[in-house]
Amino acid sequence: MDIPVPPSSDSRDPRILVPQIAQSFRQLPISLIANLANGFILAAVLWGAVPTPVLLSWSGLLVTVTGARFLSLRTFRNASPGSEPDLAVWTKYFVAGACAAGLVWGLSGILLFHPSSFPHQVVLAFVLGGMVAGAVPLLSSVRHAYGCFAIPVVVPIAIQMMWVGDRIHLVMGLLMVIFGLTMLATSAQVHRLFRDAEKLRRELFSSSEVAQALEYLVRLDSLTGIPNRRLFEEELGKEWARAKRDNVPLALITADIDHFKEYNDHYGHPAGDLCLVDVAQTLYRALSRPGDVAARIGGEEFAILLPQTDLNGAIAVAEQIRERVLALDLPHEASPVASQVTLSFGVSSSELASVASPAELIRTSDIALYEAKRCGRNQIVAARKTVSVLVAEAKGTGSKISNGASEGKTIRPWPL
């Protein structure tokens, strides 16, 4: 697939300029070291061939400019971490430093040019050419910085060579001009490559974020906004493995809105959808721990996964949810259970001897839920060992817990 080349305006995009400036200042120490090293080498080679005051003055100017650029680097590094730098200011500082360095090295082509020593001239041209070539990767990330450095370096030495007038110097001057133009073109290409690479990196990062967001969305129930069955099953598998590895309990609550079909028939499906949303959000807000999961796993059926929770703890959570749903006071005139929306709950735990897999945890919780419905709904039934149940039946504002019978109802033992 061809990658489209971004328009030139992209180079002014702050999202691209920020890493460009950061990259430039990150590489600035290399440039400063190269400037000083080459300056000292050049001064050592020309010592005695160029008047000492001129050589010392030029060397002092080089050290001064390099020091000023070092101070700008320290200021940049001490800027507030995490905040985007003022692009205009830092770009001006960096380009100004590159221009100042270019002018200093350009002056060497005038002040340090030996009029009669061809070897010294060659050394000077070689050092300046090396500076121009070496600056390509160091300065090209910021627009105009390389040109502001290279042009003042190349032009004076090229003019000096041509000014001598003989054939060799004319050729050398022309070669310096060609070399300078080639380096400018190379720098422009490097700048475009950096810009395109940064834009591509941002696009890939954005695509990754979008993919993660979409991956997350397909695990959410589109109506209620809470996790769906897919996410629930994934979390169940992970939490089951963790529970077995750490030898801790894992509890599961399945809940069902009582007589929801009658609710839809009486109030209409739009009202039924709003009821589902209210109940789902109530379940979701009732969970306080990060690892707890409340999911919609069917039409009006929900599941609550509680890591590191035993059966009694899960019963307490179920009772809390039951009371919160009652507190919503959603009218349900078509329900034979109550005049408001109620829930039935089935609770199971990995502690049970009959629960040896995630599927068994779901199965036993479903059986407990069906038993809660059979016993009159609006209550909690929890699996106990292998053949008994625990019933919490709502009466007014309280609940009654028993094994066997409650309020004249007989609860038969049932196998898991």
pLDDT in tens, 237-270: 999 999 999 999 999 999 999 999 999 999 999 9
Q: What is the pTM of this model?
A: 0.50
Q: Which residues have CB under 8 Å from 31's CB, separation 6+?
A: 69, 101, 135, 138, 139
Mark whether 29 and 112 lie in a shared domain.
yes
Same domain, 207 and 262: no
Q: Residue 49: what pLDDT?
A: 86
The answer to whether residue 391 is domain-embedded is yes
Provide the pLDDT for residue 363: 94
| Pair 82, 44 in one domain | yes
Tell me how crowded residue 386 is: count the other CB atoms within 10 A of its CB: 13
State mean pLDDT over 78-93: 66
Residue 281's CATH number: 3.30.70.270
Residues 276 and 176 in one domain: no
Indicate whether 81 pLDDT > 70.
no
- Residue 111 structure tokens: 């002040």
Residue 142 inside a domain? The answer is: yes
User: Domain for residue 250, yes or no?
Assistant: yes
pLDDT at residue 287 in the model: 92
> Tokens 């199971």 appear where?
348
223 assigned to some structural domain: no
**Buried-exposed string 109-145: b where 16+ CB fall within 10 A, e elsewhere:** beebbeeeeeebbebbbebbbebbebbbbbbbbbbeb
Residue-wise pLDDT for 141-186, tens only, equals 787 888 899 999 999 999 988 888 888 989 988 998 998 899 889 8
Asked if residue 280 has pLDDT above 80, the reply is: yes
Burial of 5 (0-12, 13-18, 19+ CB in 10 A): exposed
**Of 50-54, 205-209, 313-317, highest mean pLDDT:** 313-317
Rounded distance between C-alpha atoms, residue 268 and residue 58, angstroms: 89
Are 205 and 263 part of one and the same domain?
no
Q: Which residues pair with 382 in a beta bridge?
A: 347, 390
407 has catalytic annotation: no
Q: Are 47 and 55 in contact (CB under 8 A)?
A: yes
Instruction: Pick the most confident of 2-16, 70-84, 368-382, 400-414.
Output: 368-382
pLDDT for 412 equals 29
Does 255 lie in the same domain as 159? no
In angstroms, the CA 339 to CA 53 distance is 103
Q: In 3-state terms, what secondary structure has residue 389?
A: strand
Total number of domains constituting the chain: 2
**Least confident among 85-89, 244-248, 401-405:** 401-405
Domain final residue, candidates 212, 238, 259: 212
Q: Average pLDDT in the 49-62 region? A: 90
**Measured distance CA(388)–CA(143) in Å, rounded:** 78
| 133 plus 175 within the same structural domain | yes
In sequence order, the 6+-apart residues with CB closer than 8 A to the CB of 272 are 260, 263, 264
- How many helices and strands (H and E) does the chain possess? 11, 9
Instruction: Specify the pLDDT at position 256.
Output: 95
Residues 254 and 154 in one domain: no
Percent of the chain with pLDDT over 70: 82
Using an 8 Å Cβ cutoff, are 338 and 361 in contact?
A: no
Active-site residue, selected from the candidate residues 198, 235, 300, 319: 300
Q: Is residue 109 assigned to a domain?
A: yes
- If you search the block for the tokens 């003989």, which residue do you land on? 166
Distance CA 138, CA 187 (A): 10
d(Cα 201, Cα 82) in Å, to the nearest integer?
A: 19
Compute the 3-state secondary structure of the chain and give helix, strand, coil in percent, each to the nearest 5: 65, 15, 25
> Same domain for 128 and 274?
no
Mean pLDDT score across all residues of the chain: 82
Q: Among 187, 212, 237, where does a domain finish?
A: 212
Classify residue 34: in a domain, yes or no. yes
> Residue 190's domain spans which residues?
8-212
| Per-residue tokens: 389 | 């149940």
Q: 298 with 324, same domain? A: yes
- pLDDT greater at residue 216 or residue 371: 371
Show the CA angle centred on residue 294, arms to residues 288 and 295, nearest 5°. Answer: 160
What are the structure tokens assigned to 390, written together?
């625990």
Q: Give 129-188 as a DSSP string.
A: HHHHHHHHHHHTTSTTHHHHHHHHHHHHHHHHHHHH-SHHHHHHHHHHHHHHHHHHHHHH
